Amino acid sequence: MSEDLSSTDGWRARLPFKPRSVVIAIVLLATGVAARIVWDRFEANLTRSPRYRITAEVIHIIPEAPPPWIRSNVKAQVLRDSGITDSLTLLDEPATIQRRLVDAFELHPWVDKVEQVVLASPTRIDVLLEYRQPVAVAEVRVGGRSELVPVDRYAVRLPDGDLTDVERSYLPRISEIENRPLVGEAWSDVRVQGAAQLAAHLRDVWEAYSLVDIIPSTYPEVQRSHRFFTYEIRTSGGTVIRWGAAPGFSPPGENSFEDKLARLSNYIQQHGRLESIDSPKMLDVRNGLLVEKRTVKRDVADETRR
């Protein structure tokens, strides 16, 4: 006997789904959509709430006090320029918060590296910074006048406004430099890179040895396919120290920085600082020690007047 397809039960039996299941699915979907709308509005209210905003008070820089050569407010400048306080909240994923803060602080020219970002508590974020330190100034001609631009050991141009003119005058001066990069960028000029490394290595003895200028060679030397620039150091007494290549840029076979410094130190210990006209005309410390004395003597009458 054939099934009556006109009957309600027969029609329902042949459906691939049950009407009741469809109704339940529609209700669940509508409930989910409504819940999502409610949550989005609730989340938007949360992110706008001052309680969950990332503010300057939430972020703590470690060390608390910057080094003495930095007078600008690094944290305030980073938050101003990055827009973090307007786009980041404590409700964001911890990894997102850490990445955004690292990226923002490492863009500041005084920051060498963000060591760590620690979400210490719901209302405290510690940012551990390693700062750049000025090791020299590049003497650059700008508009017919000379400017002393501070650099760190990696030849990164540092902000101009923090160091006073007096502080710049005591730093090693890299002479005969033509161009300059933007603040926070490194010099592409290899001569400046080597000079900055040399200044950093001589930092502990610079003032004690009466050193003043680092003068890069104009053209590179080539030795066994190794291309490098050489450097001379001028003292306050006018003595020229022929140093050779900078640390990290030396060709194979050239004496080490330590050997050169030992020769210079021994000479100064035996003969005194290189700060007067009685100092030699030239010291060559590249491979052994060569000394060239001055040939011009001071005028006796002039000396009497002094």
Taking only the tens place, the pLDDT of each residue in 212-252 is 999 999 999 988 888 999 999 999 999 999 999 999 999 98
Taking alpha carbons only, the member of 257, 250, 241, 154 closest to residue 197 is 154
Query: Which tokens is 301 given?
Result: 């009458």
**pTM, whole model, 2 decimals?**
0.78
- Given a contact cutoff of 8 angstroms between Cβ atoms, the answer to whether 230 and 190 are in contact is no
- For residues 167 and 69, the answer to whether their CB atoms sit within 8 Å is yes
All CATH 3.40.50 domain ranges of the chain, comma separated, are: 136-301
Q: Could you report the per-residue pLDDT of 56-114, keeping only the tens digit for each? A: 899 999 999 999 999 999 999 999 998 888 878 888 889 999 999 999 999 999 999 99
Cβ(200)–Cβ(151) under 8 Å? no
- Strand boundaries in 90-172, DSSP class E: 111-121, 124-131, 136-142, 145-151
Q: CATH: 3.90.1530, 3.20.20, 3.40.50, 3.30.70. Which one for 136-301?
A: 3.40.50
